[in-house]
């Protein structure tokens, strides 16, 4: 970190909430210029999770030189965003945070030098949870980051090759979890498998895909009509389902269900749930639920004056519904902006404002040029919903970059991802 006498607002985490907080704070009217904004992340890039399933299922015969586009469409290098660092006065530091010292107001980085803060925004996101299922970590791959997505892609490629080496044998892929990630990944994978069958690259029954979900419906939190539409679409693509089937344990090549049945697999992709970043346990701050930060309605950490939190690492009860808010990107970004506004108000001695989550609706891609939309603009499904989803992706890139850079990122990803569709 640069040596200077300016006071520090430090934001931990360069995800949706953290990046939105940094951008909003740097542009916040009345924000005192004797404060510096520093964004800290262990990675050098901001990951757009909304397209990560595309990386995991990207066209398996793309040229080696196109591999960079798999990452370029979802990874936005924080140091490369010149307008964020120079025009908006944001410093970026790549560092692995190991804890905080609240008394000294320092962020700890293990073997690296620690650094101070005057206000600290915690936006460390979430990580997969295994619910204590024996064998899950050893025998599954989660879809949470670029290395995961590329690993899944390589494993699927291997199964495709093996299917041709042993005709008559069905290779089984299990997608464990029927939420957003599981449905999006399964849909895109099934669409690609269907194309390989049409092209006679593999036999019709060479690869099977089964979605295992603990609840009795896919995308259950989105309502019965969305659940039904998603299941119908996936069924048409060739998916099999085990609903109302919580996993008891996982062996080397089979998932064990509570009723004693065993479902064999060659690849298990885990998308069954998330929990707050485990690093929060060392922060000496109040937590609730699955280790999430306990916050006031203003998103200030309970019992603190200068600690704030936003995103998936937070438990926030929506005053309109009385339920925890969904852990989705638009709400994380909205929370990040609200945190920034309240940090600025706190610095300027103004009363804090409670966060009132704005629900934007959702668009869920379910394989190929097909999506299910429930937004103010569109309530439907099919190609139009899929186009809307692509426009939402582009709009997000435009919200954090110049139009030219946003279009470049969008196009370089689309040139590979559209081969799936």
Radius of gyration of the chain (CA): 22
Residue 376 lies in a domain: no
Is residue 242 domain-shared with residue 284, that is, in the same domain? no
Question: What is the spatial distance between Cα 267 and Cα 159, in angstroms, rounded to a whole number?
Answer: 9
In a domain, 415, yes or no: no
Same domain, 187 and 142: yes
Residue at which a domain ends, from 272, 287, 305? 272
Q: Which residue has the tokens 């036999």?
A: 203
With H, G, I as helix, E, B as strand and everything else as coil, classify residue 274: strand
From the DSSP assignment, how many helices (H) and strands (E) are in the chain? 11, 26
Residues 113 and 173 in one domain: no
Distance CA 336, CA 248 (A): 37
- Domain interval for residue 114: 7-44+79-128+275-360
- Residue 257 and residue 149 share a domain: yes
Q: Are 159 and 266 in contact (CB under 8 A)?
A: yes
CATH number of the domain residue 262 falls in:
3.50.50.60
pLDDT of residue 86: 46
Task: Name the domain boundary from 239, 272, 305.
Answer: 272
**How far is residue 331's CA from residue 419's CA, in Å, rounded to a whole number?**
30
C-alpha 417/C-alpha 65 separation (Å) is 15
Kindly state whether residue 405 falls inside one of the protein's structural domains: no
Task: Examine the fold and report which residue of 253, 272, 291 is the final residue of a domain before the chain moves on.
Answer: 272
Helix, strand or coil, per DSSP, at residue 109: strand
Please say if the pLDDT value at position 68 is more than 80.
Answer: no
pLDDT tens figures, 139-156: 999 998 889 998 999 999
Same domain, 283 and 261: no
Distance CA 282, CA 294 (A): 15
Residue 103 has pLDDT above 70, yes or no: yes
Of 9-23, 29-43, 86-100, the poorest mean pLDDT is in 86-100
Residue 413 inside a domain? The answer is no
**Greatest mean pLDDT among 25-34, 57-66, 269-278, 399-408:** 269-278
Q: Tell me: pLDDT of 80 over 80.
A: no
Residue 65: pLDDT band (50, 70, 90) is low
3-state secondary structure of 345: helix
pLDDT value at 82 more than 60: no
Tell me: do 280 and 171 sit in the same domain: no
Q: Residues with Cβ < 8 Å from 65, sequence gap 6 or more?
A: none
The answer to whether 146 and 55 are in contact (CB under 8 A) is yes
**Could you tell me if 164 and 204 lie in one domain?**
yes
Q: Are 106 and 120 in contact (CB under 8 A)?
A: no
What are 396's two structure tokens?
A: 């997000």
Does the pLDDT of residue 81 top 60, yes or no? no
Residue 361 tokens read as 């609706």
pTM assigned to the model: 0.90
- For the chain, the domain total comes to 2
Among 4-8, 25-29, 232-236, name the one with the lowest average pLDDT.
4-8
Residue 63 falls inside a structural domain: no
Gap between the Cα atoms of 181 and 106, Å rounded? 36
Instruction: Give yes or no for a contact between 273 and 326, defined as CB atoms under 8 angstroms apart.
Output: no
Specify whether 210 is located in the same domain as 317.
no
* 29 three-state secondary structure: coil
Together in a domain, 93 and 23: yes
Residues 268 and 279 in one domain: no
Is residue 261 one of the residues assigned to a domain?
Answer: yes
Please check whether residues 102 and 188 belong to one and the same domain. no
Give the pLDDT of residue 3.
46
- The partner residues of 412 in beta bridges, in order of sequence, read none
Residue 392 in any domain: the answer is no
Report if residue 74 sits inside a domain: no
Q: Is residue 409 within 8 Å of residue 73, measured between CB atoms?
A: yes
Cβ pair 8, 36 in contact under 8 A: yes
Which pLDDT score is estimated for 272? 86
Q: Same domain, yes or no, for 140 and 268?
A: yes
Question: What CATH number did the domain enclosing 99 receive?
Answer: 3.50.50.100
CA distances (Å), 152 to each of 45, 128, 159, 271, 418, in order? 21, 16, 11, 12, 19
Phi, psi of 364 (to 5 degrees): -110, 110
């Amino acid at each position: 970190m640069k040596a200077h006498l300016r006071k520090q607002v430090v934001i931990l985490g360069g995800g949706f909430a953290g990046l939105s907080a940094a951008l909003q704070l740097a542009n916040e009217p009345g924000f005192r210029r004797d404060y510096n904004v520093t964004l800290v992340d262990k990675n050098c890039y901001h990951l757009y999770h909304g397209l990560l399933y595309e990386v995991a299922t990207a066209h398996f015969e793309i040229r080696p030189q196109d591999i960079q586009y798999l990452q370029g469409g979802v990874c936005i290098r924080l140091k490369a965003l010149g307008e964020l660092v120079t025009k908006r006065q944001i410093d970026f530091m790549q560092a692995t945070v190991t804890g905080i010292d609240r008394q000294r107001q320092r962020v700890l980085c293990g073997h690296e030098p620690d650094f101070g803060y005057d206000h600290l925004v915690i936006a460390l996101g979430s990580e997969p949870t295994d619910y204590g299922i024996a064998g899950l970590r050893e025998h599954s791959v989660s879809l949470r980051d670029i290395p995961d997505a590329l690993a899944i892609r390589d494993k699927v490629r291997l199964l495709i090759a093996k299917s041709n080496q042993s005709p008559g044998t069905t290779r089984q892929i299990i997608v464990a979890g029927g939420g957003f990630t599981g449905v999006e990944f399964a849909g895109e994978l099934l669409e690609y498998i269907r194309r390989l069958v049409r092209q006679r690259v593999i036999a019709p029954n060479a690869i099977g895909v089964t979605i295992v979900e603990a609840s009795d419906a896919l995308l259950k939190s989105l309502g019965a009509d969305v659940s039904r539409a998603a299941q119908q679409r996936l069924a048409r693509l060739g998916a099999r389902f085990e609903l109302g089937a919580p996993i008891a344990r996982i062996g080397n090549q089979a998932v064990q269900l509570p009723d004693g049945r065993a479902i064999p697999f060659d690849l298990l992709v885990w998308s069954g749930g998330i929990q707050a970043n485990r690093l929060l346990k060392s922060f000496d701050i109040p937590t609730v639920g699955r280790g999430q930060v306990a916050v006031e309605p203003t998103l200030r950490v309970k019992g603190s004056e200068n600690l704030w939190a936003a995103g998936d690492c937070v438990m926030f009860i929506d005053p309109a519904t009385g339920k925890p808010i969904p852990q989705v990107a638009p709400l994380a970004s909205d929370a990040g902006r609200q945190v920034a506004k309240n940090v600025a108000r706190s610095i300027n001695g103004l009363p804090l404002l409670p966060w009132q989550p704005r629900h934007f609706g959702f668009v869920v891609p379910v394989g190929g040029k097909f999506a299910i939309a429930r937004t103010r603009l569109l309530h439907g499904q099919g190609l139009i919903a899929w186009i809307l989803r692509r426009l939402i992706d582009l709009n997000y890139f435009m919200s954090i970059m110049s139009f030219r850079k946003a279009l470049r990122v969008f196009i370089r990803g689309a040139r590979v991802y559209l081969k799936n569709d």
